[in-house]
Amino acid sequence: MFESFDKSDPGRTLSFTYAGKSISAKPGMSVAAALLTHGVTAFRGTPVSGAARGPFCMMGACYDCLVLIDGVTVQACLTPVHEGLVVERVPITSEDA
């Protein structure tokens, strides 16, 4: 389980959506960190086999945390949350998946 230990400013939260679901987060958090605290560990399926994947390195090196924002695939661990952000799952495009 991923839990926040931040006890400061409990009121200061913002919300964004992931795959249509509303997710609350603290300002300054990455999309990846926010999703993890909501129990979302699998962000996408791989283009090869469709296997579930989620954040692995949290530093922008592994590209396993890819999500879709404004039609562009981005690394969720490098993308800060902001109010009203719309995050989608990356569609699996491979034919054999």
Interface positions with other proteins (CB under 8 A) = 1-8, 26, 28-30, 33-34, 36-37, 41-43, 46, 48-49, 51-64, 66, 72-73, 78, 80
**Closest distance between other proteins and the C-beta of residue 17, in Å?**
19
Q: Which is nearer to other proteins, 15 or 41 (CB)?
A: 41
**Closest distance between other proteins and the C-beta of residue 37, in Å?**
6
Q: Which is nearer to other proteins, 17 or 80 (CB)?
A: 80
Using the CB atoms, write b or e for 78-88: b if 16+ within 10 Å: ebebeeebebe
Phi, psi values for residue 37, rounded to 5°: -70, -15
Phi, psi values for residue 27, rounded to 5°: -60, 145
Is residue 32 classed as helix, strand or coil in its secondary structure? helix
